[in-house]
Chains A and B, each alone.
Chain A
Amino acid sequence: MSQTVTRITAEAISPVALRRIILAQSKRANVGHIGSCLCVVEILAALYSGVLRVAAPDDPERDRFVLAKGHAGLALFGALVLKGWIPETCLGTFCGDDTLLGVHPEAALAGVDFSTGSLGQGLCFATGAALAARFQSSDRRVFCLISDGECNEGSVWESAMFAAHHRLGNLTVILDCNGQQAFGRTRDVMNCPNLPERWRAFGWNCQEADGHSMPDLIRSLSIRQPESPSIVVARTTFGKGVSYMERGIPLSQTHLKPEPITWHYLPMSDDEYRLALDELEKTR
């Protein structure tokens, strides 16, 4: 089966700008999930830098995107702000009262195609969206960002079988492989090595990419097989861009032991926020 490569012209979303939003809003709202958001920054930046073809968030012919790992919602909100689809002032309501910007994305918000938050459901929605495009003879593509921990969910594999059986070449999954899940390392909680081989065994066209390299991601996302769904296994670093988060060090809460999952939960202290921002600005 011949591969098709879509030429993508980048109208770049800056990963630094996206990280700045994530840090600022996590700090303001005093919430966690920072590590999960930081590690998908380049993936979202790549998607919203021209991979997704979206003329307007309510265009029925837009490509669809499902953030199946909904706990990285803030990263998505940041991308939508940088695209200009939701006003920057909206971010001020993140984790506020009576807001559409909770931790997990809600479809009632412009630019969010599907509400997520419960792991294992997003890929099912995406699979339906891809099948719908086939029914409607549309060339819409559907992208879905799942996580390695999420692959614990049986429903992920139900979708994997379904999409391959129905030869949904318009469906592309990005697997955020950060090696972490909610209560430890994926290898300690539910060891699932050789994810690329597993997906290939399910009939998927599988590529591997550096999850923090925009060119690598854009190249991988542009390749697809017309007769099989595609997955890009993106190797990422939890808390990417903030070295103490990458190392799992809770600087302010010294009673906690350093472990990679720390920054799945903790909000930042003032000092931690300053340090994170300093590092971010230095890497520009």
Chain B
Amino acid sequence: MRKAFVETLCRLAHEDPRVLLMTGDLGYLALELFRDSFPGRFINAGVAEQNMIGVATGLAEAGLRPYAYSIAPFAALRPFEFIRNGPVAHRLPVRIVGMGMGFEYGHSGPTHYALEDVAALRTLPALSIVIPADSRQAATAVRTTADHPGPVYYSLGKDDRLEVPGLNGRFEPGKVQVIREGADAAIITMGSVSQEAAAAAERLAEIGIQTTVIVVSSFNPDPDEDLTRLLRSFPIAFSVEAQTLSGGLGAFVSGVIASRGLPCRLTMIGVRTSPDGTSGQQSDRWKKHGLDRESILRTVCDGLRI
């Protein structure tokens, strides 16, 4: 997604002289294409994310379109209050780019995991949140939201080759994308871990369980209408996210089910504990938290009492 983001941003910058890219001194072997194509519009703000968001606010107030990039916890959590009082309070078109979904920074350890960014930023209603599940969707999403008048947060993944089957680069704010249809259960997923949900659905189909797989890729606006319509016909659903459960995808889905009075039981699959000091590659972390395809398959089977 990182390559898709930078290439799309370069195309936007060609068309729109207001586009600037800021970084909190990160993006080696990723941002060079923009830096070398638009050297006067690339700002390394140093390792100072609070100031970066504040500066982006001042730039946007004057009509510019700054994209502020860092690893997700440093882009979203460190300067949270600057995001709230800056671009959000002023309704300015600052774009915040958080790199590394969930456990993508594997061996870098818990400081680098993005387990709360979406949940934390969902609490800011004027901030649009975009969580692509693969590279093609990321490209569409970055382009689709380029002219959004308010602030946007992009939670992006590092994997440039990732393609979630059936997604086909679709994105629309406030809408979900259905990537597989089946009548036995619904699986609602978000971000790059969608590949595990999709793979689990494939294996479930092989043993005769047909699932509908729904990708949630935006909040604020929330896709609550789409989800209500889709979940109406399922007695059981599973949410899958590489985030802590409170405030994230599972919390959102449960809110929709409860507020719309849907007869649907939800099992939330996600991170339930704070870091215990261990780290490992993404696949290892997914296993640990029940997010790998085998664990998802098992949880779905348990839920269906199969």
Contacts and interface: CB of A to CB of B under 8 A. Distances in A.
A100 B165 CA distance: 50
Contact of A121 (B20, B45, B85): B85
B50 A161 contact: no
Contacts of B85: 115, 117-118, 121
A127 B89 contact: no
Interface stretch (B51-59, B156-164, B193-201): B51-59
Contacts of B55: 124-125, 127-128, 131, 159, 162
B82 interface: yes
B81 to A, nearest CB: 6
A135 interface: yes
Interface residues of A, number: 31
A114 B59 CA distance: 12
Contacts of B81: 118, 121
Q: Which secondary structure characterizes the binding site on chain B?
A: helix
Nearest to A126: B58
Contacts of A124: 50-51, 53-55, 57-58, 82, 86
B48 A162 contact: yes
A128 B58 CA distance: 4
A146 interface: no
Nearest to A120: B50
Interface residues of B, number: 27
Q: Which secondary structure characterizes the binding site on chain A?
A: helix
B46 A107 contact: no
Contacts of A154: 50
Most buried by B among A60, A128, A130: A128
Nearest to A132: B62
Contacts of A64: 58, 61
B64 interface: yes
Contacts of A155: 48, 50-51, 54, 82
Interface of B: 20, 41, 43, 45-46, 48, 50-51, 53-64, 66, 81-82, 85-86, 89-90
11 contacts: A60-B62, A64-B58, A118-B85, A121-B54, A121-B85, A124-B53, A127-B51, A132-B63, A135-B59, A155-B48, A155-B51
